[in-house]
Structure 1
Amino acid sequence: MPSPRRDEAECFFPLVRAALRIDRLVAFGHSVGGAMAAVCASLYPHSCLALITESAQAFVEDRTLQGIRIAKGQFEMPGQIERLRKYHDDKAQWVLSAWTETWLSEAFKDWTIESCVASIHSPLLAIHGAQDEYGSVLHPARIARLTTAASECLILEDCHHVPHREMPETILEKVSLHLRSV
């Protein structure tokens, strides 16, 4: 199965870089965006100063699939799709379907981050909530192993899938420290 994470990094990110004239960057992504950020860091090793992932998935596990099934069911309830419209406007249903159907498909069951990221040469901070409903703490550990540079896994107790909302001060402090070290 083609990797949307790699497609975004190879096809669309160069357009953004060129349009904004970005020479150096810090790749930072949440959830699926964390895998996309890792791909960008891998593809642009001379430009990427640091990589930060938050609640990123590195492989398909039962916990991930169960969390997605639950979310899919919740979004079928009246009024719930409006939560996504706030961020995705009229594409909210498409975004939800693309996310859930990709992860739940038989063709995607063997996906791993290593299938789209060879190696990373940037310092890496992998942030993850210990109670993340879409992935265990095995995900940040696996992502951290991708770099040849320094890496840190920050596992936050009493935190779920959205650490930047659940513990914003902690995230700002840790990200600031990470960036000061590069």
Structure 2
Amino acid sequence: MTLPTVDNIVTIAGLQIETRIIGDFTPQKPVLIFLHEGLGCIALWQDFPGLLCERLGLAGLVYSRAGYGGSSPCPLPRPLDYMEREAEDVLPQLIEHFGISRFILVGHSDGASIALIYSGSCELPPPEAVIAMAPHVFCEDISIEGITAAKIAYETGHLKWKLERFHGVNIEYAFRGWSDAWLNPRFRKWSIEKFLPAITAPILVIQGRNDRFGTTAQIEATENSVAGPFEKLLLNDCGHNPWHEKPDDVLSKIETFITRHMQ
């Protein structure tokens, strides 16, 4: 059975934010909140949010951050702490706007980092669980190399054409906001490790062994620092997009993890 979806534009922090609600919010069950990657948006999640919501029997909220998809443009250049600002300023307002009291954060790449930052911010209502796919907790050489390669692909036209179908007039905000921040020499010192010890919610980290944007050092740093239950899934023959490359494995693991910790 396919859950009903409602697309809408809401105003958060003075910005127009593209949102999609999957299913019906009820106070008895947590809502899955999906946080996209550095070049993502609602459309680029494809059918994964709906499949996960159906599998778990939970409602979902998917949104495109400012500068992505159908949301408002964002000022450029992005500040180097743009993920921290999203986690501590925008996401709490979005949760409050929809009156969500119970929620599970499902993030990919930058979105996974945002989920970890939010979960480690002691002044915010905690999530009931965190799914972090290919998270970044500090900057690695492999990340810079991968983003440098992406910039070349973008400027030669192929990647820009591919992404423009999803971001439209936001294409430059989406790509330059992400790449220029990561390729700024000062970003080499970026780290969110200070947030990890305060995370008490159960965490599942999923990463492909062939991820060209991060190594398993990201997982190890998270596992060694968080205060709550920790599980991980390392996928063979998988790159930076485990939810897309290995959907069956990812859906099955998340279902098992959530079922275990929501009892």
Please indicate, yes or no, whether the TM-score normalized by the shorter chain is above 0.5.
yes
Q: What CA distance in whole angstroms lies between the structure 2 residues aligned with 1:65 and 1:97?
A: 14
Deviation digits for residues 30-66 of structure 1 (CA, Å, limit 9, x no counterpart) = 0111100111212367531101110111111111111
Q: Which moved more, 1:69-78 or 1:143-152?
A: 143-152
Contact 1:125–1:144 (CA<8 Å) still a contact in 2? no
Q: Which amino acid aligns with 2:115?
A: A
Q: Which moved more, 1:106-115 or 1:164-173?
A: 106-115
Pick one of 79, 84, 91 that aligns with 1:6: 84
Report how far residue 2 of structure 1 moved. Answer: 5.0
**Runs of 4+ off more than 3 Å:** 44-47, 115-118
Specify every segment of 5 or more residues in structure 2 that has no aligned partner in the other structure, as ranges. 1-78
RMSD of the TM alignment (CA)? Answer: 1.7
Q: What CA distance in whole angstroms lies between the structure 2 residues aligned with 1:29 and 1:164?
A: 10
* Map 1:3-152 → 2, pairs under 5 A: 3-43=81-121, 46-117=125-196, 119-152=198-231
Pick one of 250, 257, 263 that aligns with 1:171: 250
Q: Which has the higher helix share?
A: 1
Counterpart of 1:109 in 2: which secondary structure?
helix
Report how far residue 116 of structure 1 moved. Answer: 5.0
Q: Which has the higher strand share?
A: 2
Report how far residue 98 of structure 1 moved. Answer: 1.3
Counterpart of 2:130 in 1: which secondary structure?
strand
* Map 1:154-165 → 2, pairs under 5 A: 154-165=233-244
Q: What CA distance in whole angstroms lies between the structure 2 residues aligned with 1:99 and 1:46?
A: 27
Q: What CA distance in whole angstroms lies between the structure 1 residues aligned with 2:189 and 2:107?
A: 22
Structure of higher RCO (CA pairs closer than 8 Å, 6+ residues apart) = 1
Q: Which amino acid aligns with 2:89?
A: C
Q: What CA distance in whole angstroms lies between the structure 2 residues aligned with 1:131 and 1:104?
A: 22
Counterpart of 1:28 in 2: which secondary structure?
strand
Q: What CA distance in whole angstroms lies between the structure 2 residues aligned with 1:156 and 1:20?
A: 35
CA gap 1:2/1:35 in 2 versus in 1, 3 angstroms: same
CA gap 1:117/1:92 in 2 versus in 1, 3 angstroms: farther
Paired residue for 2:13?
A: none
CA gap 1:95/1:131 in 2 versus in 1, 3 angstroms: same
Aligned residues: 182
TM-score by length of 2: 0.65
Contact 1:141–1:153 (CA<8 Å) still a contact in 2? no
Q: Which moved more, 1:134-143 or 1:37-46?
A: 37-46
Q: What CA distance in whole angstroms lies between the structure 1 residues aligned with 2:251 and 2:91?
A: 25
Q: What CA distance in whole angstroms lies between the structure 2 residues aligned with 1:35 and 1:128?
A: 13
